[in-house]
Amino acid sequence: MLAVQEFFENSDYAVSVVDLVNHFKEEMNKATVYRILSRMESEGMIHSFNGMDGLTWYAACKHCSHDHHEDQHPHFQCKKCGRVECLEISLPIPKVKDHKIDSEIVLLVGECNNCQS
Ligand SMILES: [Zn+2]
Ligand SMILES: [Zn+2]
Ligand SMILES: [Zn+2]
């Protein structure tokens, strides 16, 4: 678990579950990586969301603990290099007639700073 923890501490970007499994394939098998990720997520160390490729992505939590785990921010995926990052902004939850909305999962897609030049 420590190796995975350190991996997230040293990364400013989100990482897909496929890349994580690949990254640790010398040290642990897929099932172990999945188990560690779900444990870290329930501890409030990381959070997960879906990328535009349909994969699950994980990113480090900044302000969460195991009893307060809330990552309502949108995520951004660059369509050129594929990098995914957390956006520290909050979007208003839209009002939809006859629906009670508790949360939203927003993925913004575009070009990152590096890819625009
Ligand atoms: Zn969190
Ligand atoms: Zn990019
Ligand atoms: Zn995030």
Query: Tens-of-pLDDT digits for all 117 residues of the chain?
Result: 899 999 999 988 999 999 999 999 999 999 999 999 999 999 999 999 999 889 999 999 988 998 998 888 999 999 999 999 999 898 888 899 999 998 888 999 999 999 998
pLDDT number for residue 103: 83
pLDDT number for residue 102: 87
Residue 7 Cα to ligand 2 middle (Å): 21
Please tell me the number of the ligand nearest to residue 48's CA.
3
Q: Nearest-5° angle of CA 39, CA 77, CA 87? A: 70
> What domains lie within the chain, and their CATH numbers?
2-116 (1.10.10.10)
3-state class of 39 per DSSP? helix
**Neighbouring C-beta atoms of residue 65, cutoff 10 Å:** 10
DSSP 94: P
pLDDT number for residue 11: 87
Residue 47 Cα to ligand 2 middle (Å): 22
Distance of alpha carbon 48 from alpha carbon 60, whole angstroms: 9
Name the token pair of 64. 């969460």
pLDDT number for residue 81: 95
pLDDT number for residue 32: 97
Beta strands in the chain (DSSP E): 15-16, 46-50, 56-60, 75-78, 84-86, 107-110
Residue 79 Cα to ligand 3 middle (Å): 17
Please tell me the number of the ligand nearest to residue 44's CA.
1
Residue 31 Cα to ligand 1 middle (Å): 22
pTM of the model: 0.89
Residue 117 Cα to ligand 1 middle (Å): 33
pLDDT number for residue 70: 87
Residue given tokens 């098998």 in the structure block = 29
Alpha helices in the chain (DSSP H): 2-9, 17-23, 30-42
